[in-house]
Amino acid sequence: MNLGNMDIAGQTASLVLKRPWVEFPYDKDALTWLEENVFYNYMRKCRWFAGKARMIKFLKIQQLLCMPVEDGLSYLIILHLGYTYGDEEKYAMPVSFMPDDFELIGHVNHKAFITRITVEGKAGWLIDAIYDFRFQVQLFENIFTNTKTPQEKGYLVYHKGKGLASTDENMSYLCVVPDLEQSNSSLVYGNKYFFKLYRKLFREVNPEVEMLQFLTEEGGFKNIPAYCGSMVLERPGIPPVTLGLMMQKVVSKSDSWVSTGDDLNNFLFMIVDKVFGINEDVFEKVELLGKRTAEMHLALLSDKKSKEFKPEPYDDTYINHLQNHLNNLLDKRIKLLKENYSRLDKNAKSLADDFINCENNIRHFFEKIGSSHLKSQRIRIHGDYHLGQVLFTGTDYLIIDFEGEPESSITDRKIKHSPLKDVAGMIRSFHYAVCAKLYFSSETREINPLKLQKSADRWYKLITDAYLDAYMQTMGDISAIFGSRTELNFLLQLHLLEKSVYELGYELNGRPDWIRIPLKGIQQVLFELDKFNS
């Protein structure tokens, strides 16, 4: 591979540092050149960069964090981006210098190369350090040894978790960068440990770190990738910034979205042959998923001391927050739906009309939150719970991705809610699985969905009932957690409605043909509202 002739990130000019590599943070001309000519061009080609669709107003290097590695030094650069509209963002960009004569440069992934650079007369590349084996090895060692590296402002702190085996101290794991399309970057060590580098940064501890650490070390919940450690930037007087998370790598056959799709294929083709049948193992899997969901929530209910995880009641502050959130969400989605109404097909327009015409009934339903004297407990929840977040091993389930709802702020993702919000998310995911197979799957394209709608609705009802029954049986005493059966049903319908209304925005902005799925979900909940609005 002739790297010297490569055109990387649409930029071919070479940067010549005026200082040694160890003084890179003080080479102002070099940093300015990278800000103005290089980083944005590189980032917009990366899957993890979320700002591609917006026009950039500025890009500045906010901080360079030093990370000593074998025979050298890597830097973790924090980039601050502003746009012509929308919120500003911060991103992590780890970098290393790799000279042309480096013996392993020919084996480095082509995605690593950011720009040509000359350091003290040596020509080479500025690369994304996630692909640098020296960075990879040092990262693992730092986490294992609870290293704390002083910076110009604060410390780069590495925490070791209980999931990292003590026997790994002297073991050298082959590290690979999975070729995945993700919003973060990943490293896999010896097919045993999985490190997630958070690219988009937030000024708080990432909820995924908190949740995995608690469930591993305090809650005793086993059906997750065990927490192995984290990398955090700590500065005086400023909330910490989570830069990365180490967890055990899990092995699975598929995620539950795929396995549920396979089950639906079998079911739908049987219906074509005039046979209504759901294999017993399908019910067994769904019931096991309900049980594991409940066990996760029971673990999150178990802490009675810490501020972060102690269950809380439905107090006035939370009720006001929830009502404001729901009404604002409804305002935004109705506005968006009206703006896109002309794009909808006849069936979707009919469903949209029903939804818009029921706006007052929905708001009245939201008002019931404040007058229902809710006795339920609120806990930390998964927050983005659906079939794609649950891996199926062939015999059991593993729950992953505890970062929370992507559109929410880090602060909002840590707000305690009813565990039924997670349950509603999973039920909505079952509904999506059914509709996706009926209307949008190449595997079932030859099947007339109108002829199978009634049977598919029955499948959805039987499956969600099995899931809910197993969940409630595992949760135990309803009154201790949900107040009463009436309150449980009220909160479940509330969060099913919330989730369906939220989904409208996702589909209108990304997959307008799928808009009928959340609209159908809203319609299902509207049939239930009369019970609570009377």
Strands 72-83 and 89-99: antiparallel
CATH architecture, domain defined by 3-128? Roll (3.10)
Pairing of strands 390-392, 397-399: antiparallel
The predicted pLDDT at position 521 comes to 95
- DSSP output for 187-249: EEETTTEEEEE-SEE-SS--HHHHHHHHHHHTS---SSPPEEEEEEEEETTEEEEEEEEEEE-
User: What order of strands is seen across the sheet that includes strand 238-248?
Assistant: 148-150, 155-160, 227-235, 238-248, 193-197, 185-189, 175-176
Convert the pLDDT of each residue in 481-503 to its tens digit: 999 999 999 999 999 999 999 99
Q: CB neighbours (10 Å) of residue 84?
A: 8
| Spatial separation of the C-alpha atoms in residues 125 and 11, rounded to whole Å | 12
> How much is the pLDDT for 168?
63
Report how far residue 530's alpha carbon sits from residue 534's, in angstroms, rounded to the nearest whole number.
6
Query: What pLDDT shows up at residue 269?
Result: 86
Domain definitions of the chain by residue range: 3-128, 139-248, 251-308+380-414+425-477, 315-373+484-534
Give the DSSP letter of residue 19: S
* DSSP conformational letter for 437: I
Structure token digits, residue 140: 């693992």
Whether the CB-CB separation of 294 and 399 falls below 8 Å is answered with no
CA gap 34, 14 in Å, rounded: 11
C-alpha 426/C-alpha 257 separation (Å) is 11
Q: At the fourth CATH level, which superfamily is domain 251-308+380-414+425-477?
A: Aminoglycoside phosphotransferase (APH), C-terminal lobe (3.90.1200.10)
| Whole-Å CA distances, 502 to 256, 293, 329, 428 | 22, 22, 7, 11
- DSSP for 164-183, please give it: S-GGGTT----EE------S
Whole-number pLDDT of residue 9: 44
**199 near 214, Cβ under 8 Å?**
no
Neighbouring residues of 362: CB distance < 8 A, sequence distance ≥ 6: 330, 497, 526, 529
Is there a contact between 397 and 292 (Cβ–Cβ < 8 Å)?
Answer: yes
CA–CA distances in Å: residue 407 to residues 75, 329, 410, 505: 29, 12, 9, 11
Give CA–CA dist 133/108, Å, rounded.
9
- The structure tokens listed for 388 are 């794609």
Q: What is the pLDDT of residue 4?
A: 40
* Furthest-apart CA atoms within the chain: distance in Å: 80
pLDDT at 372: 86
Q: How far apart are CA 528 and CA 98, in angstroms?
A: 63
Task: Give the whole-angstrom CA distance, residue 227 versus residue 231.
Answer: 12
Same fold, 3-128 and 139-248: no
Closest CA to 419 of 311, 525, 509: 311
* Residue 381 backbone dihedrals phi, psi, to 5 degrees: -125, 175
Amino acid occupying residue 288:
L
| Phi, psi dihedrals of residue 111, rounded to the nearest 5° | -70, -15
Question: Which stretches of the chain score pLDDT less than 50?
Answer: 1-11
Instruction: Give every CB contact of residue 350 below 8 A, 6+ residues apart in sequence.
Output: none
Paired sense of beta strands 193-197 and 185-189, if any: antiparallel
44 secondary structure, DSSP code: T
C-alpha triplet 121, 123, 129: angle, nearest 5°: 120
At the top level of CATH, which class does the domain 139-248 belong to?
alpha beta
SS3 category, 375: coil
